[in-house]
Chain A
Amino acid sequence: MSGVRPEAADPDALPGRDGAPGPPPRAAARPARRVTWRKLLLRPCFLLVLLLATWLWFRGAGLDSVARNSIADGNVWLRLRQHVVLTVVSTFFVLIIAIPLGILLTRRRLRPAAPAVVAVANVGQATPAIGLLALLVIWMGIGMQAALVGIVVYAVLPVLANTVAGLRAIDPTLVEAARGIGMSAAGVLRRVELPLAVPLILAGVRTALVLNVGTATLAYFGGGGGLGDLIASGITNQRMPVLVLGSVLTVALALLVDWLASLAELLLRPRGLEAS
């Protein structure tokens, strides 16, 4: 369950996180936001510095023809683009699989099936990613598709588990109040349950995104491209700069994606839920 981080759902709820214990609720909403915005600016600055430093170092490092070959013809740009595509597409599929599945598993009739399904998803994640990928390549052949399926299987669990946890954590009296005032089942889900579960679901999505950036480096083994290609050629050709370039780009991408996701968490989190 390493990928699940329900504790990340409500960072502001941690006691004493911002030093001062519990400011009065009325004043809390805005200042809490402002502090987080400032924190958010740190990450892109750090990324810029990291990329700049790498670029300078890379220019200074003497490249031989083998190394130059690895990065010729816009290869770096191509691999980066492939990597982004892998991440985005796989995350998209993770979302449209895991969130509806999570919703279904919390409906009254399917609730008993939840443990079994989560167990299956757990197996998906517990399998070593590279073994999973190998199996998929044998089954589906070489290419981006096998890689995508592998990444998706690997990342379904955190989103699924968080969706289920988020929906389960809702006070049942609220759901009953919603039904009691005349909301249909769909209305209760759309107006009450999903908005209240958004923080946890988004935390799961954030985990999945970062996970996907990491797993996408393995796509190379199945011929799926991505930054893994740079890293691997750096290793096989024993060219340090190429290896470092691939790794730094992967790390930077993961950090960037995580940053974007935290931005989304901040914007999409329903107002009125900010803990005091």
Chain B
Amino acid sequence: MADAPGATIQLENLTKRYPGNPAPAVDCVNMDIKAGELVVFVGPSGCGKTTTMKMINRLIEPTSGRIRIDGEDVTGIDPVRLRRKIGYAIQASGLFPHMTVAQNISLVPRMTGWPKRRIAERVEEMLDLVGLDPGEFQGRYPRQLSGGQQQRVGVARALAADPPVLLMDEPFGAVDPITRDHLQDELIRLQHELHKTIVFVTHDFDEAIKLGDRIAVLRERSHIAQFDTPEAILTNPADDFVSGFVGAGAALKRLNLTRVRDVGVVDFPTATVDDPLQTIFDRLRRGTTNEVLLLDRHQRPYKWLRRGDLMRAEGSLARAGTLVHDTVTRDATLRDALEAVLIDNAGRVPVTGRRGRYEGVVDMETLMNSVHELLEEDRLDAVEHQHLLEEQRAQQVLEEQEGTTDAPEELA
């Protein structure tokens, strides 16, 4: 079955006032979310992230304003019908303890009247999707699962009826850092397959950077401080509030967004342990770096060999040179690569492909240059983006002014 791709979401002047509190918890939020986009709401505690999100599926009724999903105004429709088309996953999974994993996952399909056969298939499909073995987990009760497994089932339940929109409120907030990392990776993989429109709430900025196609940094009353790509927010925070939230080391965080494959992997003189000593000597003398990377029999990086090393070891390859500490793959982030380079006193790190085979190296210089280029590019992008926004705003203002003369009753 082909999964339905995402829908657009528009929030128009969305406002929520809780009874007994004159100040609104969410004040006039406007936001356009594209179909298939993963948008992260991030902001300090109590700024209204959850409230804003729950207004999208109307668990909290907006005081005023409008929500459009795929263009349809859903502010007035039956909330139960609305919610069946919006997946919902929350912290600590929200699984029902008296239902098995399969029953939990099949709830929404059952409520919407899917045929039995298809529901059973769907449960297995969903468990597969979130990386749990259907045979093993279907019949278990939630309390027989670990926190991370519960969270996976929670996501599976949210996706079961194939909703175009998925709301997630700190879904990974209650698991340990390592499991959280895994779950985030899984979500990224899932999103690559499914292209849902996802609204994800967190107060962890690093999580936001890792997951978001775009990030909405919210300040008190859900005012949008900045709504942009992670790159743009890191390199060009809109104001002090955002930079405060980005925290120290924005440039370092930027390194997390780029992969080794995106920067130059360069060749390096190599030799294998099976080469005759004379060949290795020749290469050392001919090379510009006075150094070769020695590979083992399976073409895996083994040792750094400098001129003179062989001499000192009296011609014994086994004793000469220094062992390779660390390697990275093309999928590693620049941050990982930088760390490896810094640790290795050779000032470079071998890049490996399948089965750890040598493919090239990344050195300090390449890294520095790429980072500078990236930052510069980001800066230019941001400036351009800024211009674009200003133009759009000017356009809007113009249209509104024209609108007042054409249709004054709309504003009344």
Contact = CB atoms under 8 A, between A and B. Distances in A.
Contact of B111 (A183, A195, A273, A276): A183
A76 B108 CA distance: 56
A192 B142 CA distance: 14
Contacts of B330: none
Nearest to A275: B143
Interface stretch (B84-92, B362-370, B384-392): B84-92
B141 interface: yes
Given A26-B144, A173-B90, A177-B88, A183 B96 contact: no
A178 B83 CA distance: 10
Interface stretch (B29-37, B97-105, B238-246, B260-268): B97-105
A182 B98 contact: no
A272 interface: yes
Contacts of B88: 177, 180-181
Interface residues of A, number: 23
Interface string A92-133: 000000000000000000000000000000000000000000
Contact of A272 (B81, B100, B107, B108): B100
A181 B109 CA distance: 11
B83 A181 contact: yes
Interface string A220-252: 000000000000000000000000000000000
B158 to A, nearest CB: 7
Contacts of B94: 173-174, 176-177, 180
| B contact residues, range | 20 to 34
B59 A176 contact: yes
Interface in A238-276: 270-273, 276
A273 B98 contact: yes
B59 A179 contact: yes
A25 interface: yes
A187 interface: yes
B96 A192 contact: yes
A182 B108 contact: yes
A36 interface: no
Interface string A195-218: 110000000000000000000000
Given A176-B59, A272-B98, 12 more contacts: A176-B94, A177-B90, A178-B96, A181-B87, A182-B83, A182-B108, A182-B111, A183-B111, A192-B96, A272-B97, A272-B99, A272-B143
Interface of A: 25-26, 173-174, 176-184, 187, 191-192, 195-196, 270-273, 276
22 contacts: A25-B143, A25-B144, A174-B94, A174-B96, A176-B94, A177-B94, A179-B83, A180-B57, A180-B83, A181-B87, A181-B107, A181-B108, A181-B158, A182-B82, A182-B84, A182-B86, A182-B108, A187-B111, A191-B96, A270-B98, A271-B141, A272-B142
